[in-house]
Amino acid sequence: MTSRGLDSNLTSAAAGAGWAERVVHGDRRALARVISFLENEDLQGVDTLKLLYPRTGRAHVIGLTGPPGAGKSSLADKLISELRHGGKTVGVIAVDPTSPFSGGAILGDRVRMQGWTGDSGVYIRSMGTRGSLGGLARAAHGAIQLLDAAGFDYVLVETVGVGQSEVDIVRVADTVVVVAVPGLGDDIQASKAGIMEIGDIFAVNKADLPGSKRVITEIEMMLDLGMHPYWRPPVVPTVAATGQGVADLVKAIQDHYAVLSTADRLRQHRLEREKEAVLLRLGERLRREILQAWSADRLSELWAALAAKEIDPYSLEDKLYHRWKGA
Ligand SMILES: Nc1nc2c(ncn2[C@@H]2O[C@H](COP(=O)(O)OP(=O)(O)OP(=O)(O)O)[C@@H](O)[C@H]2O)c(=O)[nH]1
Ligand SMILES: [Mg+2]
């Protein structure tokens, strides 16, 4: 490491201590800044998280996922109301993968959850992709830890359940609420199997629209086939537009937490997700280093050779790895 790198690392660690102090004291602007550091992969973000890690683990982290337009943000808004009435504080992270097919999500979230600006018990933040979805997942994970350390009783994470990275974002939650809606046809269960599997609770939103009974039955039937060692996911009809069913949803969320909290499950579940995250970051770091051992030109030549079948993918992997290992 160059001395310049060392200096900037020290500065970042010192800055991290300052940010951590401010976050713990409920400073909103500090929260916003640190989340931006995480999004921009500025070292100060991770340096802040390092110091705050011992303070995490108190919040109940709830993931909300489901197809675009299912009513996740409207439901989050009503969940905030219900939890605030119970005297609880709520931090919300609305993840907007700004991919070509979900533009406008940021606006939607802002419009549907904007009545909370004067309430110090609520903090809402949208997060988007600057680069890769994997990078966004990492930043969102950090933001959850940050809101937890800041002392929010609940942390809600909203993400559109379209791809693996988006699903990975909510998988770090203690309780995953899958939001389904009538009118999407039979393929939701089949094609979105990944989402259906991770649900601890199913909210069938837009229950005011025709077809919701059928969706409920379909989900129940699918759940009958599954293995649920200690928790059978409940299916809760909701109308986010009016708040109908939201109290039942909160009750289901709290019941799930109570079950998780027994028999050491919560601690194990959280340890498992942190372990996975450490291993994932480690893998990414190694891959980056391995690729950095090659010039961009040489790498493109190698990919071209692979395409031309002049080298097989396994030998290519060996070649890439051994150059780094020997470096
Ligand atoms: N009829 C009906 N409409 C609803 C209900 N809940 C939400 N909506 C409407 O559905 C639309 C989408 O709601 P959002 O809360 O933005 O949905 P979302 O899942 O957050 O959407 P994205 O974040 O863009 O994926 C809005 O027009 C809402 O007013 C409901 O219970 N019934
Ligand atoms: Mg939304």
From the CB of 205, is ligand 1 less than 6 Å away?
yes
Ligand 1 atom closest to 207 (CA): 31
Cβ of residue 64 lying under 6 Å from some atom of ligand 1: no
What's the CA angle centered on 256, arms 171 and 278, to 5 degrees? 30
Q: Return the domain boundaries, the chain.
A: 1-55, 56-266, 293-326
| Tens of pLDDT, residues 209-235 | 988 999 899 888 888 887 778 899 999
The CA distance from 35 to 307, in Å, is 40
Contact 126, 30 (CB under 8 A): no
Q: How far apart are the first and last CA of the chain?
A: 15
Is residue 245 within 8 Å of residue 212, measured between CB atoms? no
Residues with CB under 5 A from ligand 2 (ion): 72-73, 109
| CA pair distance 210, 183, nearest whole angstrom | 8
Q: From the CA of 212, how far away is ligand 1's center (Å)? A: 15
**pLDDT at position 187:** 52
How would you write the pLDDT of the chain (327 residues) with one tens digit per residue? 444 555 667 677 787 889 999 999 989 999 999 999 998 889 999 999 999 999 999 999 999 998 888 899 999 999 999 999 999 999 999 987 653 323 334 444 545 666 787 888 999 988 876 667 777 888 889 999 999 999 999 999 998 877 777 777 888 899 999 999 987 655 554 445 667 788 899 999 999 998 899 989 988 888 888 777 889 999 999 999 999 999 999 999 999 999 999 888 999 999 998 998 899 889 989 999 999 989 999 999 999 999 999 999 999 999 999 988 886
User: What is the assigned CATH class of domain 56-266?
Assistant: alpha beta
- Identify which of 208, 253, 205 has the alpha carbon closest to the alpha carbon of residue 82: 253
Q: Using one digit for the tens of pLDDT, what is the confidence trace for 140-180?
A: 899 999 999 999 999 999 988 777 777 778 888 999 999 99
Please report the pLDDT score of residue 108 as a whole number.
44
The token pair at 30 is 């500090």
Measured distance CA(139)–CA(137) in Å, rounded: 6
